[in-house]
Amino acid sequence: MTTTAKKATTKKSPLSSVMKRVAAKDAAKAKQRASGPDEIVEPVAKVRKPTTKPRAGSRSKRGATAPKKSARATPAKETAKTAKTKKLSGLDYAAQVLAKSKEPLQAKAIAQQAIAAGWKTNGATPHATLYAAMIREIAKKGNDARFVKTDRGLFKAGKAA
């Protein structure tokens, strides 16, 4: 009987060359450690580092920086800044609503009146957001808060409002 032996075809994978380089580099390091610090062994192959672009606004290694802006604002810029009206937060609107109100209000009523006054919000539950923010301010500032919790879910204007 005759058997036909098939030749084993080996495909050279792209990793094999990388693995050879890594193995050669490891062997060179081991040889250098074994030989001691007196003898310098050159590395077999240099591995190139990938090049990356520096992020916008970041400093490069060479010390180049973007031109600095002057610290002093010109008088024209100062007047433009003071002419702009500051965008009020939900808490600011809530403080205004409670200052106008004679009796304590629930967070839902405060939120509705604040939205009617111009508060812009995209949330599904602005009353819950406002309630949590008012509770945080009361906890943080205590008696100096703009809000006072009178009863469960009811708020009135505080001394600071």
Q: Are 148 and 138 in contact (CB under 8 A)?
A: yes
pLDDT band at 41 (very low <50, low <70, confident <90, very high): low
Averaged confidence pLDDT in the chain? 77
Q: State the fold for domain 90-157.
A: Arc Repressor Mutant, subunit A (1.10.10)
Structure tokens at 102: 């004679």
Q: pLDDT of 138-151, one tens digit each?
A: 999 999 999 999 99
Q: Calculate the CA dihedral of residues 110, 113, 116, 122 and round it to 10 degrees.
A: 10
Domain boundaries, the chain: 15-46, 90-157
Distance from C-alpha of 104 to C-alpha of 89, rounded to nearest angstrom: 20
Burial of 130 (0-12, 13-18, 19+ CB in 10 A): buried
CB atoms within 10 A of CB 93: 22
Summarize the confidence of residues 69-77 as an average pLDDT: 57
pLDDT at residue 58 greater than cutoff 60: no
User: What's the pLDDT score for residue 33?
Assistant: 79
